[in-house]
Amino acid sequence: MKKLINDPADVVAEALRGMDAAHPELRVDHSDRVVYRADAPVRGKVGLVSGGGSGHEPMHGGFVGPGMLDAACAGEVFTSPVPDQMVAATRGVDGGAGVLHVVKNYTGDVMNFEMAAELAGAETGVEVASVVTDDDVAVQDSLYTAGRRGVGVTVLLEKIAGAAADEGRDLAAVAAVARKVNDRGRSMGMALTSCTVPAAGQPTFELPEDQMEIGIGIHGEPGRRRVPIAPAREVAAMLVEPVLADLDFTGPDGVICFVNGMGGTPLLELYLMYNEVAALLDKAGVRIARSLVGPYITSLEMAGCSVTLVKADDELIRLWDAPVNTPGLRWGA
Amino acid sequence: MSASIDQLTDWVRRFAAAVHEHRDELTRLDSAIGDADHGSNLDRGMTAVVAALDAEPQPSAAALFKKVGMTLVSTVGGASGPLYGTFFLRVATASGEVTELDGPAFAKALRAGLEGVVARGKAEAGDKTMFDALAPAVDALDAALADGDPLGESLRAAATAAASGRDATIPLVARKGRASYLGERSAGHQDPGATSVTLLVVAAAEALA
């Protein structure tokens, strides 16, 4: 294992120290491992709290700031945070208008946030609503699985719901627009390499030099299938086709198209992939209204990418274009 | 025969020792069909539980199990934190502020814990989860007590039922949790949650003998 770390046990704590030092506009509670915007709570505004295992940076801590999240809870690498953290964050961002929890659909995350919502309600009286993202088309959604995983849509949802909260909408309305983004979003990812959890010391799975894994999640979970490595234009088709097959993305309002890097793939390749994805969407009659390219929801140093589409409309485009000022996403501010 | 507060505390400590001893086995089972952290997460949680009980012995069954549940919820994370945490919190509520539990009261508390696990995890029989070992154990305990067997003997029957349920998870296809992403590929592996909860029932049979 070659990593820029001191002790594997201290990776999350020390990264949070660095984040705190680099960003005076954030406030980090190091005992609860919660990243807050420094001016939280914002009076009268719905608070947005997310969180999850570490190793997906910039998500979620890097999306804390005006126009996006009010707080993010950091778990151990690839392990859900615990309810105490979420209760502290909920209390810390409540400006009197209630708090929305943004949860990715993984069994541990869902259960811990559920307990946190119950505890926060009982202990603090804060009104809490939750939205669960489940956009990964690689997982069959049926009675026989834990349901689809929450992946790329989470980034777009946090941006859009953050803008809705900034507009002064109430909790029910912010939750409604968040659910709308999830309902209209689909993703599919792939990996060229595995990744190494610091505490484990060795790669989560073995992927031979001439193979790639299609349909991966963001924790090195297995994908749909393992296939020989192929040119980017064929890889793009393997990602775009199942997304388009799952939801009709045609229409005059177009889509927000997000090509995400898994952590170990350079922007040069991500833009090359975006070019292939855009060509495929054009051929399928899908108009791109807005785009985002870069490593925003990662899986440590995994090489690979994912494609997320969200079916847009005037409301979503306006909220997408609204100013945002976070370490990981910044425009118009 | 009733279980005293000392015996109930001993149950928790024996479970902690068993988790520690089987930590690597639990993690190995979890790496086959999950994310390779069940042993280390549960060991971290139960080590914190033992430290909390060392610092402050608990006066009643309700206080004891509430301390265990809250400590697990706060330290374990993942899915096993809320599941084991909810189990012990429900056991605490069902036990009440008493210093001993007779057989039927202990069985009722375990049943409440099982119902908490179901409410939290939404698992059903055959989903390849801790439910598949815990539910038969609670059923066997009820049946043995109804036959007039003493608590210790009834818990041995429960431990046998848990172990059978655990072994029966091997051919199952997982329908809950991270293992469910594997679909058919999850068959052939013993479920880590069913394995750890069997340790819990075996520890009860030892402590309350």
> Would you list the domain boundaries of chain A?
11-184, 185-311
Annotated catalytic residue A101: no
Three-state SS string over chain B comes to CEEEHHHHHHHHHHHHHHHHHCHHHHHHHHHHHCCCCHHHHHHHHHHHHHHHHHHCCCCCHHHHHHHHHHHHHHHCCCCHHHHHHHHHHHHHHHHCCCCEEEHHHHHHHHHHHHHHHHHHHCCCCCCCCCHHHHHHHHHHHHHHHHCCCCHHHHHHHHHHHHHHHHHCCCCCCCCCCHHHHHHHHHCCCCCHHHHHHHHHHHHHHHHCC
Q: Average pLDDT for residues A36-56, to the nearest whole number?
A: 97
Counting the structural domains of chain B, the total is: 1
Above 90 in pLDDT, residue B36? no
- For the segment B51-60, what is each residue's pLDDT rounded down to a tens digit? 999 999 999 9
On the question of a common fold for A11-184 and A185-311, the answer reads: no
For testing the chain A interface, which of B35, B72, B172, B181 should be mutated: the one with the most A CBs within 10 Å? B181
The ipTM of this complex is 0.84
Exposure of A21 by Cβ count < 10 A (0-12 exposed, 13-18 middle, 19+ buried)?
Answer: exposed
Catalytic residue among A23, A60, A101, A219: A219
CATH of domain A185-311: 3.30.1180.20
CATH code of residue B6: 1.25.40.340
Domain A11-184 carries which CATH code?
3.40.50.10440
Residue B77 has its nearest CB partner, among A112, A139, A222, at A112
**Domain extent at residue B152:** 2-207
Asked if B35 has any chain A CB less than 8 Å from its own CB, the reply is: yes
Q: Do B81 and A112 touch (CB under 8 A)?
A: yes
The per-residue pLDDT of chain A, averaged, comes to 95
Asked if A221 is an interface residue toward chain B (Cβ–Cβ < 8 A), one would say yes
Residues from chain B that touch A115, judged by Cβ atoms under 8 A, are 73, 82, 85-86, 120
The 10s digit of each residue's pLDDT in A134-151 is: 999 988 765 567 889 999
Which residues of chain A have a CB within 8 Å of the CB of B83? 111
At A65-111, the pLDDT tens digits run 999 999 999 998 988 999 999 999 999 999 999 999 999 999 999 99
Q: Verify whether residue A219 is a known catalytic residue.
A: yes
Alpha helices in A94-133 (DSSP H): 107-124
